[in-house]
Each structure stands twice: as structure tokens, then as C-alpha cells.
Chains A and B, each alone.
Chain A
Amino acid sequence: MVETTAWGVLLLPVILGLFAVGAAAFDATLAARAAGVTAPRSAALAPLRSAAGLLVQQRRRTLAADTLLWRAAGMVLLVAAVLASLVTPLGHWAVGDLSAGVVWFNAMEIVAWAAVWLAGWGANSTFSLVGGYRFVAQGLAYELPHMFVLTTAALGAGSLRVADIVAAQQDLWFVVWMPVAFAVYLLSVLAMAFSGPFNHAVSGDVAGGVLAELSGVDRLVFLAGRWVLLVSGAAMAVPLFLGGGAGPLLPDWLWTLVKTALVLAALVWAGRRVPTIRMERFEEISWMVLIPATLLQALFVSLVVI
């Protein structure tokens, strides 16, 4: 049902980029409204303005920085964030239709662990390093529930191929009978993209964490990678839980875009509404609540499938 397209390789980064800019603009608007700015519309252009500024800004240097690893961090994050969407179908087209597509998606998300730590390490700055370690320390608390909900969706379809998961939702979307998995998926997507309430790695209490010393084009690439990672996560929610391109009237590719936009907007909005969750709190919530909940959900789905 899903056909692979070669030209999708060119189109995919463009679509992801547009979604990322849109998400950043929506985020800036929400921030401006929360700050009481009277004309929040002009705030929507703030991400583009700051992107242009970062393009011409000179790099800030730090003493004895590990430049190779530092620069690599942003690029690795951006490339992996784009590659994560390789297996995400747009309507009935996908760039790659791997037999283990879900695992591929997860593997590319995990690259963020390395990227964030590298960005924290490379600067040779304490606050950066603290930010990097914060993310790694939370890594398993984010990844394990995420992995279990991906497994749950795959269980429901009996296949790791994204196309099969979409096909299995012909009659009933997975979100209807796996609500716990869907909720945890959204939560962990925010966490894996270290945004929203899970922005401890880049939060203000450590002067921006891994972003503390990042400047100029490096900062732009890193931030772009982070937004694209969030977009990739939101886009994957559509084939996994929301029936892919299924929907009345509109063509399937448009439905995919609409659903992705809705999920993304919800994620950005939630990220602005909810205050940063302290690490030790989320660690316990993740291990004591989310992991058992996702395991029970997986058990329920397995029983239904059998």
C-alpha cells in the first residue's frame, strides 16, 4: 500500500523544514502571548529573524573546546532528525519502506543522546556539560517507555513495517484501543526532543545548558535539529496511532499533513503550558508509572491480538 519514491528524498527535508519553522513560529507566538505582548503576530516571525541573525553572527570561542565533536553535535542531530522521517509515510508515499521501520525511527531518535552529550562536552564549559549529562541521565527514563509504546503499535499490527501498521488501522485507529500507548508516545516524543517540560538539558537554571556556549551557525543547526526531531516524532504519531492518511474527502497525503500539524501544535502548546519537570521527579514517574503502564498496555494488546 505504501510505495517508495525516489523524489521523496528531495521533498522530505523541505516538508520537515516547513513544519519545523511553523512549530517554532507557533512556539514564539505562545511565548509572546504569555509574556503579554500586545501584537503576538509579529512574534511569529521571531524564529526566522533570529535564524537570520545566527547566520551572520560570529562564533563564540571557548578555551580548549573540542571543536570537532562540538560542531559534529548539531550536524549529527539535524541529519538524524531528518533520517528518522525516512520511514514515515506521507499518504501512501514513503522515502524508505524498511521491514524494521519502527526500529529505524527509534534508532535515529536515539542519536539525540549522543548529539546532546557531544554539544555539552565540546564547549569545555561547565554549564554545557551539566546540560549534556542531564540528558544522558534521563536517557533510559525517556527511552524505555518510548520503546515499549513503539513495540505496542508494532504488536497491534504484527509487523515492524510502518506500512503494515497503517494497514492494520483500516477499521479502527490504534489510538482508540491503545490510548495509554498514544499518550505515553506523545510524552516521550517531547522528552526525546528535549523540549516542553523536559527541557532540563537546555533550561535556564544552568544558563541554557548545552546551548550555553553554542553560537552562530552551530546554534542554528542544533536548534533546527531539535525542532526537526520534534516534527519527526509528531509525524510518526500519525501512521502509528492515527490511521496514517485515512480520512474522508481529502486526499491521504493532505490528511497526513493535517494530522501531523495537529499533533505538533498540541505538543508545542503542551510544552509551553507545563512547567519544566524536575529530573528526579520524572525519573520516578517514568520507572514507577509509565513503564508498568506501557507494559500493561502491551500485554492488553497482545491478548487482543491472540
Chain B
Amino acid sequence: MWREFVFWLCAAGSVVTGVAVFRVDSMARATFALLASFLFAAGTVLLVDLTYLGILVILMMIMEMVIMVVFMLMYMMNPAGLMPMTMVHNQKGSLAIAIGTFAVLATGIYLIDWPTSSAPQPEDPTMALGEALMGPKMLMMIVLGLALFATIVATVVLATHRGRYDRYGDRLDRDRPDDPVRGGVGR
């Protein structure tokens, strides 16, 4: 009973705060409305006893959105939030995409023959889910993880303003790096 109540609370909360993202007139509020929406979604994950995943979603979403807010404010047209702004662009196109996606997903929900199981709940649902998702494809997941990590490193290397030649000289023969800001390790 209470699970159903909490589910509908999370579902409604998630949608309402999701709508709020596009109704508010400040980037900061939009970001934190989006964060609230994600947290409500995490609530539904917790409801199916995926404790670890649910808490991890909470943890990662807070970190992500706080970092995100910096960029949202930096790049959007109304950084200070002092002038009226709108989060909605390309209204006709986005409306079409939104309605189309909703229609596809909604029909999908009703057309798919969802499996029902009378098997008892596994002792550790997170483990069971992980096994089901990744068990047979572990090699691919590992390769994927490596590829993602390599991409992150490569992006940082490409984006960095000062490389080792700037820091250690053209022949990399400087003892102390030439940094504009002193670090804390005594160099």
C-alpha cells in the first residue's frame, strides 16, 4: 500500500519538477528543478529494493547537477538570471519530437507482453540485476569502460591549455615546472 503511495508521489513529483525546468526563468532554478526530478526518479529505483543503485543515482545526480549548474550558467543566454528568459527553443519542432516520443513509449508500454514471474525475489536484487545485464557481456563492458576512460583522458589532453612542454621547457629539462599558480607539493 505505502509503496504504491510513494511510487505515485515520486512519479508525480518527477513530472512536476520536470515541467518546472521549462517554466522557471532562471538557469539556477532550472538546474535544481532538474535535480529534484532526478531525485524523485531515484526514489522509484529504491522502491524496487535496488538500494545500491538508488542511492548511487542520488549521489551521482547531486554531484553532476552541481557541476552542471556552473556550465549552465556560463553558457546560457541569461547567466545572471536578472532578465526574463525562456528555456523553450524551437517550439514546434520540440513539441513534435516530445509528442512523438511520448506516443511511441506509451504504445510500447501497452503493446509489450511484459513478463511476469512467480520466482521469489532474489536476496540481493542489485547483484541479480548486474548479472542479468552484464554477466554474459562482461568482456564488452570492460572494453567499453576502457574506451570511455580513454576518451575522457584524450579530451582533457586535447583541451588543456598548458602541456608538459609549457611546464618543463621544450627539452623537458626543467627541474621545476613553470606554473602560473603555485601548487601545494612544494614545487
Q: With an 8 A cutoff between CB atoms, is A249 at the interface?
A: no
Q: With an 8 A cutoff between CB atoms, is B11 at the interface?
A: no
Q: Is the CB of A110 within 8 A of B183?
A: no
Inter-chain contacts of B82 with A (CB < 8 A): 64
Q: With an 8 A cutoff between CB atoms, is A281 at the interface?
A: yes
Inter-chain contacts of A118 with B (CB < 8 A): 28, 32
Which A-chain residue is minimally distant from B63 (CB atoms)? A110
B binding-site residues for A, Cβ under 8 Å:
26, 28-29, 32, 35, 51-52, 55-56, 58-59, 62-63, 65-67, 69-70, 81-82, 124, 181-185
Q: Is the CB of B183 within 8 A of A280?
A: yes
How far apart sit A284 and B52, CA to CA, in the bound complex (Å)? 31
Known: A103-B59, A118-B32. A133 touches B51 (CB 8 A): no
Known: A66-B29, A117-B66. A285 touches B184 (CB 8 A): yes
Among B52, B59, B65, B82, the most chain A Cβ lie within 10 Å of the Cβ of B59
Inter-chain contacts of A104 with B (CB < 8 A): 55
Q: Is the CB of A114 within 8 A of B35?
A: yes
B72 to chain A, nearest CB (A): 12
B45 to chain A, nearest CB (A): 12
Inter-chain contacts of B32 with A (CB < 8 A): 69, 114, 118
Which residue of B51, B63, B183 is within 8 Å of A99 (Cβ)? B51
Q: With an 8 A cutoff between CB atoms, is A139 at the interface?
A: yes
Q: With an 8 A cutoff between CB atoms, is A215 at the interface?
A: no
Q: A121-B28, A284-B185 provided; 16 other pairs, C-beta below 8 A?
A: A64-B82, A69-B32, A98-B51, A106-B59, A110-B59, A110-B63, A113-B62, A114-B35, A118-B32, A136-B66, A136-B67, A283-B183, A283-B184, A288-B184, A288-B185, A289-B185
B151 to chain A, nearest CB (A): 18
Q: With an 8 A cutoff between CB atoms, is A107 at the interface?
A: yes
Q: Is the CB of A66 within 8 A of B26?
A: yes
Which B-chain residue is minimally distant from A104 (CB atoms)? B55
Interface residues of B, dominant DSSP: helix
Q: Is the CB of A277 within 8 A of B184?
A: yes
Known: A66-B81, A143-B63. A107 touches B184 (CB 8 A): no
Give chain A's interface residue range (CB within 8 Å of chain B): 20 to 34
Interface residues of A, dominant DSSP: helix
Q: With an 8 A cutoff between CB atoms, is A10 at the interface?
A: no
Q: With an 8 A cutoff between CB atoms, is A100 at the interface?
A: yes
Q: With an 8 A cutoff between CB atoms, is A1 at the interface?
A: no
* Interface CB pairs A-B, < 8 A, 21: A66-B26, A66-B81, A68-B29, A69-B28, A98-B55, A103-B56, A103-B59, A106-B59, A107-B56, A107-B59, A107-B62, A110-B59, A110-B63, A111-B62, A114-B35, A118-B28, A133-B70, A136-B66, A136-B67, A139-B66, A283-B184
| Docked complex: A248-306 residues within 8 A CB-CB of B | 277-278, 280-285, 288-289
B34 to chain A, nearest CB (A): 12
How far apart sit A107 and B60, CA to CA, in the bound complex (Å)? 8
Q: Is the CB of B62 within 8 A of A103?
A: no
How far apart sit A191 and B69, CA to CA, in the bound complex (Å)? 21
The 9 closest A-B pairs by CB, nearest first: A281-B184, A284-B183, A107-B59, A285-B184, A100-B52, A284-B184, A113-B66, A103-B55, A107-B58
Q: Is the CB of A103 within 8 A of B52?
A: yes
Which A-chain residue is minimally distant from B182 (CB atoms)? A280
Q: Is the CB of B63 within 8 A of A139?
A: yes
How far apart sit A59 and B129, CA to CA, in the bound complex (Å)? 51
Inter-chain contacts of B51 with A (CB < 8 A): 98-100
Q: With an 8 A cutoff between CB atoms, is A160 at the interface?
A: yes
Inter-chain contacts of A289 with B (CB < 8 A): 185
